[in-house]
Chain A
Amino acid sequence: MQEHIQLNQKEINDISLSPILETPKWWLPAVLITFGFIVTGLAAFFYMVYHGLGVTGLNRPVFWGFFIVNFVFWIGISHAGIMISAILRLTQAEWRRPITRAAEVLTVFSLMAALHTPLFHVGRPWRTYWVFPYDFSRGVWPNVRSPFVWDPSAVGTYLIASTLFVIICLLPDLAIIRDRTTGLRSKIYGILCLGWRGTPRQWKMQTIVGILLSALVLPVFVSVHSIVSWDFAVIAGVEGWHSTIFAPYFIIGAIHSGVSAVATFMVVMMWVWKGNDKILRPDHLDAIGRLLIIVATTWFLFLFLEVAFALFTLERPEIALRELQFFKWPFSGLFILFLLTSYFIPVPMWMFKNVRRSLPLMFISTILVNVGMWLERFLIIVPSLSRKTPFAFDWGSYTPSIVEILIVTETFAFVIFGLLLFSKFFPLIPLFDIKEGMVFRDEIKIGRRTVPASIRE
């Protein structure tokens, strides 16, 4: 039985806008701390620019290290937003309402964070514009057959699409803030909401755009991580990368880590935001927990297939790589940690209803998943490169340097910083969606039983 608290529009406004209209005490310190991490990370980056990539742990043949691992990780997290909001919108799941915005915003900031590390990794980020077809005078164009040109096209499309998605769905909520504030703030929000009035035409467009953009962004979302996976999979020379399953495997892994991240974010929102418990309820965590069991198990199936087919080849280098990945220290330890944290600890936990409804336990289990998923990317990238490949004549190992660690920390700080700033100026809960849910809610009474129902047009 879903618990539900009926609120009127004013109450919803008051609860959801409280973080915007009154600043909590911890907000500024939190912003400053995360900003400090960002500055440290940027300092490390400038140090790296000055001294060259040699200050990282990257070497021959491990050309890709923490930076690329982190890139894939954040791209993965960014799949949460669209997964939650688009799929649940299209399937008209009622429980999506309070979490869509938070998930979409998480997408936007994690995508930006994802863009950091490859940009730093290329060594000369000021020449990134080379991937764009700009050179009309000399006639030198980017090579579109390289997966590294697909990446910016896909990630760029996804970033633009998800940002626009967030903005267009914000319009009615910005109008609410406009009406709740006075003076300059009201004017600014008035401009931002484009003069929203709430006519039937505007609401109709708002309803359609939720569905239409979901349907349009969903295929982009699938393409983004597929393309990221092809950065690896199209290379025939590196053992462990050249597998047809990579695209769906990366996608389902991304959903696994992304939905977990949304759950973590929800728990944090429920903790720090007083009064919010009337809108975000343990119910929602319960639903997301059940979804996670399915996602995690599907992901595990793909992991199994990936490994099974690697062994199926019966090719010696491939099998030797798996030996390195699974049985040689330190990868063996990381591998066990990866299995435990990404599947074998959280999934049995989520089987219990009490765990799915408990904030601390959901927090821990979903954080664990993301520890595991970070390790997964590490275990895909680093061991495969450490071995001698047909095109590199060295064997090697990899230890991240302090510079890399600081820059990776910077991306995490950046996402938190972004979310903190966003939550100060824009509502993290889609107010009109909640209100719609309250009005569309109905009940059917059969004998002694009350069945929750909702209006469908």
Chain B
Amino acid sequence: MNPHVITAKSTLDKKSKINNTLLERHQRNGNYFWRIISLLAVFFILGIIGFVMKLNSGFNDKVIWGYYAAMFAFILTTAQAAPMVAIAPRLAKAHWRRPISRTAEIWSIVGLFNLILFIPILWVLPSLEDRRRSLWFWDAAPGFESVPVFSPHIWTTLALCSLVFIGIMLLWLSALPDLALIRDKGTGWQQKVAKKLSKNWIGTSKQWHWLYHRLGILGALYFAMMVFVHFLISIDFLLVLVPGWIDALLPITHAANALQAGVATMMLTMFCLRKFGGYKDYIGYDQVWGLGKLLFALSLLWFWFWFSSFNVFWYGKKPNELSVIDLLTTGPYLIIFIGVFLLNFVFPLFMMIWNPIRRSFWGPPLIAVGVIIGTFLDRIRLYVAAYSVPGIGDPNVSKHALPTHSLPTHLPEISDVFIMLGYISGSILVFMLATKIIPVINIWEQREVVMYEIHKKFHRTEVKILGKPD
């Protein structure tokens, strides 16, 4: 067996081509770029108007903040989960991730946006002094008297801040070599920014070693922190609001849904970049296939987690369990739930086992759109329903059961619609602006793969050889 000898010279052409085309594409404005930005900005301003309208009603009545909380959770489960698409395959050394890993990391910038918008939700949640059942066990057992009454607020904020910080650090680190490239070869204001951001990256082997190491650690930390944030949010800002809702699986379900929606977000982003962003040569079938498999597996996981919870409730038939099922799947919520069930599980399942759709460029992104809509509806179903339960903050209300079986459904007001519109467009706006500073396709990882992916003749057939450095 003769090893394939790779030298700098043999790959120079390919590498410099990657550099030049991607750099050129990064610095050029797409045809519609600023038009889309302005449109998103208009929507975002609408969102601000909606928010101001909401402020008039104050923070005391949490019922009206349900949709706002749902939007927060939606962005947490989509944009802030998208970086996992870069992290997990990178740890598994899968080469197909390379063209999309940067895109995934740029989504972590949206976390900053989401963090700022998290502040009102903190205001809405009362302190633990209302003696609600919570994971912090304030005054519930001896030894827990001195737990801060604002524990949920403090810990969730800290965790969310760390998540955002880790995400941005991850993005910055992975962008370092590319920023250095822009510093050296770019022009205009982007070069100036890159000069500031790229620090003293010159690509010594020490620096590369450091970069790889840090990327691994930060990736693992991001995942751990993401699970932790979902754990806190799903309990303190969802489960606890409904007396009698005891679902030990919910934190994991919340995080798994986030992974599913994160993959869907990436699938859609990747499709847009290929179709409208001019990266047709870089984003290909491998990426659709890699993400499609993940999306399929996570859709099955969605069903399994949902059924695990539902089956235990349905069989248990305790009064509090029946009332939780009632709360989340009756009235308009039933229609929403059926939609979620179809979009997050049934469509992905049946479309992905059908080869013509699975092997097309439009099929998996279409499923992804469904999953994103499904997740959106699911967040509304869970959060609006939970926020509409009265009684939290009232020490006289039972901790163990819902006050009544059927609660009025809270339909969106005009301000809610504005907020939803503004929240989503704001997130996309932040993402798109960030792509102006940091190349949306990872240039150095593209250059790197030139060394590890070889096409060669194997007797009478062509094969691809993938190298996996340890």
* Direct A–B contact in complex, judged by CB atoms less than 8 Å apart: yes
Chain A residues 299 to 326 lying within 8 A of chain B, measured CB to CB, are 301-302, 305-306, 308-315
Q: Are B4 and A444 in contact (CB under 8 A)?
A: yes
Query: Which of A90, A244, A310 lies in contact with B312, CB distance below 8 A?
Result: A244
Q: Does B116 contact A (CB under 8 A)?
A: no
Cα(A243)–Cα(B252), bound, Å: 14
How far apart are the CA atoms of A242 and B311 in the complex, in Å? 11
Q: Taking A234-B311, A442-B1, A456-B466 as contacts, is the C-beta distance between A315 and B400 under 8 angstroms?
A: yes
User: Are A226 and B470 in touch, CB under 8 angstroms?
Assistant: no
Q: B209 at the A/B interface (Cβ < 8 Å)?
A: no
User: Are A312 and B133 closer than 8 Å at their CB atoms?
Assistant: yes
Stretch at the interface among A48-56, A135-143, A245-253: A245-253
Q: Is the CB of A245 within 8 A of B466?
A: no
- State which of B151-159, B174-182, B191-199, B241-249 sits at the interface with chain A: B241-249
**A residues near B451, Cβ cutoff 8 Å:** 444, 446, 451
Contacts of B463 in A (CB 8 A): 455-457
Interface check B454, CB cutoff 8 A: yes
Q: Is the Cβ of A443 less than 8 Å from the Cβ of B4?
A: yes
Given A444-B6, A445-B4, also A312-B465 (CB < 8 A):
no
Tell me, in angstroms, the Cα distance from A219 to B451 when the chains sit together.
37
- Contact assessment for A455 and B3 in the assembled complex, using a CB-CB cutoff below 8 Å: no
B469 touches A451 (CB 8 A): yes
| Most A CB within 10 A of own CB, among B92, B137, B304 | B304
B12 close to chain A: CB less than 8 A: no
Task: State whether the Cβ of B140 lies closer than 8 Å to any Cβ in chain A.
Answer: yes
Instruction: State whether the Cβ of B300 lies closer than 8 Å to any Cβ in chain A.
Output: yes
Q: Which residue of B lies closest to A222 (CB)?
A: B304
Considering the complex, which residues of chain B in the window 280-326 have a beta carbon less than 8 Å from any beta carbon of chain A?
293, 300, 304-305, 308-309, 311-313, 315-318
Interface string of A245-265 (1 = CB under 8 A from B): 111100000000000000000
Q: Does A450 lie within 8 Å of B308, measured CB to CB? A: no
**In the complex, chain A residues whose CB is within 8 Å of the CB of B3:** 442-445, 450
| A91 cross-chain contacts in B, Cβ below 8 A | 92
Taking a contact as CB atoms under 8 Å apart, the answer to whether B312 and A451 are in contact is: no
List B contacts of A457 (CB < 8 A). 463-464
B residues in contact with A314, CB < 8 Å = 133, 140, 399-400
B286 to chain A, nearest CB (A): 10
Cα A241 to Cα B318 with chains together (Å): 14
- Contacts A1-B470, A248-B252, A446-B451 given; indicate if A233 touches B246 (C-beta within 8 A): no
Q: Please state if A455 and B452 are interface contacts (CB–CB under 8 Å).
A: no
- Give Cα distance in the complex from A58 to B18, angstroms: 72
A105 to B464, alpha carbons, bound, how many Å?
33
Say whether B312 contacts A230, CB under 8 Å.
yes
Asked if residues A236 and B465 are in contact (CB atoms below 8 Å), the reply is no
The yes or no answer to A199 lying at the interface (CB within 8 A) is no
Residue of A nearest to B228 (CB): A301
**Does chain A have a CB within 8 A of B28?**
no
**B247 contacts which of A6, A244, A450 (Cβ < 8 Å)?**
A244
- Confirm or deny: A43 has a beta carbon within 8 angstroms of a beta carbon on chain B: no
Name which of B7, B246, B305, B308 has the most chain A CB atoms within 10 A of its CB.
Answer: B308
**Minimum distance in angstroms from A30 CB to a CB of chain B:** 38
- Asked whether, in the complex, the Cβ of B6 is within 8 Å of the Cβ of A445, the reply is yes
Q: What 10 additional pairs, Cβ within 8 angstroms, besides A235-B315, A443-B3?
A: A226-B308, A230-B311, A234-B315, A248-B304, A314-B400, A315-B400, A442-B465, A445-B3, A452-B468, A455-B465
* A441 beta carbon closer than 8 Å to chain B: yes
Chain A contacts to B: CB under 8 angstroms: 1-2, 6, 90-91, 219, 222, 226, 230, 233-236, 242-248, 301-302, 305-306, 308-315, 441-447, 449-457
Q: Does B365 contact A (CB under 8 A)?
A: no
Q: Which single residue of chain A is at the shortest CB-CB distance from B468?
A: A452
A447 surroundings in chain B (CB, below 8 A): 7
How far, in angstroms, from A444 to B7 measured CA to CA in the complex?
Answer: 10
Tell me, rounded to whole Å, the shortest Cβ–Cβ distance linking A237 to chain B: 9
B400 contact set on A, CB distance < 8 A:
314-315
Min CB–CB distance A395 → chain B (angstroms)? 23
Q: Do B308 and A455 have beta carbons less than 8 Å apart?
A: no
Query: B100 CB to closest chain A CB, in angstroms?
Result: 18
Please determine whether A309 and B248 come into contact, CB atoms closer than 8 angstroms.
Answer: yes
Known contacts A315-B400, A443-B3, A445-B5, A245 near B467 by CB under 8 Å: no
Instruction: List 11 A-B pairs, Cβ < 8 Å.
Output: A230-B312, A244-B249, A245-B248, A247-B249, A247-B308, A248-B308, A308-B248, A310-B248, A454-B466, A456-B466, A457-B463
> Which residues of chain B come closer than 8 Å to A301, judged between CB atoms?
227
A246 to B452 CA separation, bound complex (whole angstroms) = 43
Known: A236-B316, A236-B318, A446-B6. A453 touches B304 (CB 8 A): no
How far is B463's CA from A442's CA once the two chains are assembled, in angstroms? Answer: 11
Q: Which residues of B contact A454 (CB under 8 A)?
A: 465-466, 468
Least CB distance from B147 to A in Å reads 14
Contact of A306 among B134, B135, B248, B315 (CB under 8 A): B248
Q: Which 10 A-B pairs have the closest CB atoms?
A: A234-B315, A309-B248, A443-B3, A245-B248, A453-B467, A247-B308, A445-B3, A236-B316, A444-B467, A451-B467
Q: Which residues of A contact B304 (CB under 8 A)?
A: 222, 226, 247-248
A451–B458 CA distance with the chains assembled, in angstroms: 19
B251 within 8 A of A: yes
Residue picked from B246, B300, B470, most chain A C-beta under 10 Å: B246
Interface of chain B residues 114 through 173 with chain A (CB within 8 A): 133-135, 137, 140
Please determine whether B454 and A244 come into contact, CB atoms closer than 8 angstroms: no
Q: Which residue on chain A has the smallest CB distance to residue B309?
A: A244
Given A244-B313, A248-B252, answer yes or no on A453-B452 (Cβ-Cβ < 8 Å): yes
Contact of B252 among A219, A245, A308, A315 (CB under 8 A): A245
| Partner pick for A242 among B308, B312, B467, CB 8 A cutoff | B312
Contact A6 B1 (CB under 8 A): yes
Q: B413-470: which residues lie under 8 A (CB-CB) from chain A?
A: 451-452, 454, 458, 463-470
